[in-house]
């Protein structure tokens, strides 16, 4: 809280106004002081700000309004942040979500990102950092030109956050998509566990040894078709390999 308070008195950081002036942000946070700081700070940076102090109200507002981003606390009365996020994604809304976590706990973060959050910040955080993260998750699709990675009949586009198999869209979570991109980029080669963890969670995050295997299995279940060839092979003790080249004998 202190570092947030102090950061609010920083001289205004460099921002491109056209990026922020029309952005509509909903903040869902139950601590009144934190909510007011966030509301005031984002307003001063040119954002259009709406607020909700509990999860139920937050979900209602997030589904009723066209938002550019949602700043979402995890610990909330009436409906917690993770449940709100799941309900929002289940309703088909792709609104970018920045989660606020009380502690840097791996479980909370994995849970949040797996539930469809785009990024997270651990309290206390600085205001410039919050604004930078918001700009990053709401960045318009300018870099979209051709970010797609093609490996056999699978295409993954990490920038547009979409993936296809034989031209059909695959419904992947953000983490599954990052994993698929990390594998498909080096199709036909064994990609080490460390390298995959870095491409999914970032090099600076420590995740438990089981997290990658769990994620690989959930990706496999969406990627492979019954009776078809397994696209992700395990290289024991080393990593995983994506068999992307359109294989003869592919049945699926
Ligand atoms: Ca809270």
Which residues have a Cβ under 8 Å from the Cβ of 86 and sit 6 or more positions away?
Answer: 115, 116
Ligand 1: centre distance to CA 28 (Å):
9
Task: For residue 163, list its beta bridge partners.
Answer: 156, 170
Ligand 1: centre distance to CA 15 (Å):
28
The CATH number of domain 149-242, selected from 3.90.180.10, 3.30.70.1110, 3.40.50.720, 1.10.10.10? 1.10.10.10
* Distance, C-alpha 101 to centroid of its chain: 14
Residue 11: pLDDT band by 50, 70, 90 thresholds? very low
Max alpha carbon distance in the chain (Å)?
64
Ligand 1: centre distance to CA 136 (Å):
24
At 197-245, the pLDDT tens digits run 988 888 777 777 788 999 999 999 999 888 888 899 999 989 999 986 5
- 16 burial via Cβ count (<10 Å: 0-12, 13-18, 19+): exposed
The pLDDT of residue 146 is 54
DSSP code at position 70 = E
At 94-153, the pLDDT tens digits run 889 999 987 666 676 667 677 778 888 888 888 888 988 888 887 653 344 457 888 888
Span of 56-65, 67-76, 147-156 with lowest mean pLDDT:
147-156
Q: Does domain 2-138 have CATH number 3.40.50.2300?
A: yes
Of the chain, the percentage scoring pLDDT greater than 90 comes to 36
| 168/137 Cα distance (integer angstroms) | 26
Ligand 1: centre distance to CA 54 (Å):
9
Q: Domain residues of the chain, as ranges?
A: 2-138, 149-242
198-223 core/surface letters (b: 16 or more CB in 10 A; e: else): ebbbeeeeeeeeebbeebbebbeeeb
Mean pLDDT of the chain: 81
Highest-confidence range of 59-63, 64-68, 120-124, by mean pLDDT? 59-63
Ligand 1: centre distance to CA 31 (Å):
6
Q: Under a CB-based contact definition with an 8 Å cutoff, are residues 208 and 105 in contact? A: no
pTM comes to 0.51
Residue 33: pLDDT band by 50, 70, 90 thresholds? very high
Which residues have a Cβ under 8 Å from the Cβ of 248 and sit 6 or more positions away?
Answer: none
Ligand 1: centre distance to CA 37 (Å):
14
Predicted confidence (pLDDT) at residue 20 exceeds the cutoff of 70:
no
Ligand 1: centre distance to CA 81 (Å):
9
The pLDDT of residue 5 is 46
Identical fold between 2-138 and 149-242: no
Residue linked to tokens 């139920």: 56
């Amino acid at each position: 809280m202190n570092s947030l308070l102090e950061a609010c008195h920083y001289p205004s950081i460099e921002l491109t106004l056209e990026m922020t002036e029309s952005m509509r942000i909903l903040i869902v946070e139950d601590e009144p002081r934190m909510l007011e700081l966030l509301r005031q700070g984002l307003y001063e940076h040119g954002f259009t700000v709406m607020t909700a102090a509990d999860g139920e109200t937050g979900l209602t507002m997030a589904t009723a309004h066209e938002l550019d981003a949602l700043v979402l606390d995890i610990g909330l009365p009436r409906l917690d942040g993770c449940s709100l996020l799941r309900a929002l994604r289940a309703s088909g809304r792709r609104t970018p979500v920045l989660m606020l976590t009380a502690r840097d706990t791996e479980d909370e973060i994995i849970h949040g990102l797996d539930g469809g959050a785009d990024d997270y910040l651990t309290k206390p955080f600085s205001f410039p950092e919050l604004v930078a993260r918001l700009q990053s998750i709401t960045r318009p699709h300018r870099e979209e030109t051709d970010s797609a990675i093609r490996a056999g009949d699978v295409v993954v586009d990490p920038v547009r956050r979409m993936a296809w198999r034989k031209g059909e869209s695959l419904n992947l979570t953000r983490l599954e998509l990052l994993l698929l991109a990390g594998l498909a980029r080096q199709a036909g080669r064994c990609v080490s566990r460390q390298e995959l963890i870095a491409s999914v969670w970032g090099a600076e995050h420590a995740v438990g040894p089981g997290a990658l295997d769990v994620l690989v299995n959930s990706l496999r279940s969406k990627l492979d078709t019954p009776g078809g060839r397994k696209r992700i092979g395990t290289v024991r003790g080393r990593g995983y390999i994506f068999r992307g080249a359109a294989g003869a004998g592919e049945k699926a």
